[in-house]
């Protein structure tokens, strides 16, 4: 299983793209501005999109992806996620106001977008890869995913979250965890904001990570633009045993 990081920033700017992960050629986790790194041919090969939640930095490029390749697609792109996430897309994004409803285009009988809701703890198998949705705690209903490849390699991605039970319990129940990508949106000076907006700062992340029984490679994502170096340093200081580092767009992992 090949994991490619298309976007791993908490914002935009030169060299910064928002959250999008590509698993092999056909599967995305989130569709932030990182999707803009893909060629037309690569976009047309995407068959499944698993969303962590409805915030724009995680979904904004899904409408553009569908619009760019709808004439090349032989079947619908399946969008997976919590029912609340998919309902938010239906009501607030693909609603004919912000963007056309691709669940009814180009033909209501043969649309290029279809929704498949998932519940907490549910596992979906897609071409030999297994994706399990784990509940997290963010400002809107949100999830992380555990992804296990055909040869047993396993990574987890938190999406956006603050202190929570579900994600860490789910990880502790796994037989193995090779790679953990977890958000840390703000430095410790913004802990009050993190509690309000439901993100991690290094101190809050360390609190939850203390419960993890695995020793995966730890990569930090979603850092606020301009605060990346500070967040990375604070994470290293709080979690020296895990030697965390910042995840970068363009990185590739074989699992
Ligand atoms: Zn969010
Ligand atoms: Zn976000």
| pLDDT at residue 207, as a whole number | 98
Domain annotation covers residue 254:
no
CA of 222 to the centre of ligand 2 (A): 7
Domain annotation covers residue 142:
yes
pLDDT in tens for each of the 255 residues of the chain?
Answer: 999 999 999 999 999 999 999 999 999 999 999 999 999 999 999 999 999 999 999 999 999 999 999 999 989 999 999 999 999 999 999 999 999 999 999 999 999 999 999 999 999 999 999 999 999 999 999 999 999 999 999 999 999 999 999 999 999 999 999 999 999 999 999 999 999 999 999 999 999 999 999 999 999 999 999 999 999 999 999 999 999 999 999 999 999
Nearest to 139 by CA among 99, 216, 93, 198: 198
What is 140-205 written as a DSSP string? SS-EEEEEE-TTS-EEEE--S--S-SHHHHHHHTSS---EEEEE--S-GGGHHHHHHHT---HHHH
CA of 36 to the centre of ligand 2 (A): 17
CA of 110 to the centre of ligand 1 (A): 31
- Ligand at minimal distance from the CA of 136 is 1
Question: What residues make up the domain containing 63?
Answer: 2-247
| pLDDT at residue 134, as a whole number | 98
Phi first, then psi: what are they for 97, rounded to 5°?
-100, -60
The residues near 241 (Cβ < 8 Å, ≥ 6 apart) are none
116-142 pLDDT tens trace: 999 999 999 999 999 999 999 999 999
Domain annotation covers residue 161:
yes
Question: In CATH, what number is assigned to the domain containing residue 136?
Answer: 3.60.15.10
Domain annotation covers residue 253:
no
Classify burial at 22, counting beta carbons within 10 Å of its beta carbon; exposed 0-12, middle 13-18, buried 19 or more.
buried
Domain annotation covers residue 195:
yes
Q: How many domains does the chain have?
A: 1
CA of 41 to the centre of ligand 1 (A): 29
- Ligand at minimal distance from the CA of 18 is 2
Domain annotation covers residue 221:
yes
């Amino acid at each position: 299983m090949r994991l490619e990081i298309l976007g791993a920033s908490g914002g935009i700017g030169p060299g910064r793209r928002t959250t999008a992960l590509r698993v092999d050629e056909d599967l995305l986790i989130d569709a932030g501005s990182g999707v803009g790194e893909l060629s037309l041919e690569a976009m047309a090969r995407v068959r499944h999109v698993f969303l962590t939640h409805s915030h724009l930095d995680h979904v904004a490029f899904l409408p553009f992806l569908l619009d760019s390749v709808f004439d090349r697609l032989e079947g619908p792109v399946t969008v997976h996620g919590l029912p609340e996430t998919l309902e938010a897309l239906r009501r607030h994004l693909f609603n004919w106001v912000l963007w056309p409803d691709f669940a009814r285009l180009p033909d209501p009988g043969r649309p290029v977008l279809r929704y498949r809701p998932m519940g907490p703890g549910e596992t979906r198998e897609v071409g030999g890869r297994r994706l399990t949705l784990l509940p997290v705690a963010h400002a809107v209903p949100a999830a992380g995913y555990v992804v296990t490849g055909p040869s047993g390699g396993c990574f987890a991605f938190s999406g956006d979250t603050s202190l929570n039970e579900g994600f860490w319990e789910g990880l502790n129940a796994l037989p193995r965890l090779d790679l953990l990508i977890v958000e840390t949106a703000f430095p410790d000076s913004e802990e009050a904001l993190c509690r309000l907006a439901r993100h991690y700062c290094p101190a809050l992340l360390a609190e939850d990570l203390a419960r993890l029984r695995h020793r995966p490679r730890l990569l930090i994502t979603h850092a606020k633009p301009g605060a990346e170096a500070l967040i990375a340093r604070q994470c290293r200081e709080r979690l020296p045993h895990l030697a965390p580092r910042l995840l970068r767009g363009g990185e590739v992992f074989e699992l």
